[in-house]
Amino acid sequence: MSELTIAKRLEELGIVLPRASEPAARYANFVQAGSLLFISGKGPAGNPKGKLGLQFTTEEGYYFARQAGIEILAVVRSALGSLDRVKRVVKLQGFVNAVPHFEEHHLVLNGCSDLMLDVFLEKGLHARSVLGAASVRANLPIVIDSIFEVEE
């Protein structure tokens, strides 16, 4: 898929990528090792605070995961100069800030997974894991890190 096609696809989806967010502490926003690009954990825009199953519903969590995915794409574009260099989404790992009895972590992370499939089509199909967390930085509802295979 060419950058023009990805740009058109983003436009069709109504997605405008923001400027890449900066790291929240002392670490790199991304690291490239050979053909793998590792994106540090990203949360949703606006820094909402709270837990799934307490302040937020699964549906709201899905939206937050999608927002975090948009933040991830902005960093990928910043790192590579072009989303056209993405060969595939390799893995997403979500950390859902949730109450102990919350059981829909997988449905929350679908917000980011669906975004990657919408944007990259078959190249967006990825492995993933999702974990419930007693807490995450800044009391965000979700933080997602990711790995992409890229053209060197």
Structural fold of domain 3-150: 60s Ribosomal Protein L30; Chain: A; (3.30.1330)
For 79-93, what is each residue's pLDDT tens digit? 999 898 999 999 999
Domain spans of the chain? 3-150
Closest Cα to residue 118, out of 69, 52, 79, 58? 69
- In angstroms, rounded to a whole number, what is the distance separating the alpha carbons of residues 6 and 124? 12
Instruction: Please give the biggest Cα pair distance in the chain.
Output: 44
* Side-chain half-sphere CA neighbours of 88 within 13 A: 7
User: Can you give the pTM of this predicted structure?
Assistant: 0.95
- In angstroms, rounded to a whole number, what is the distance separating the alpha carbons of residues 19 and 6? 17
pLDDT at 85: 92
For 104-124, what is each residue's pLDDT tens digit? 999 999 999 999 999 999 999
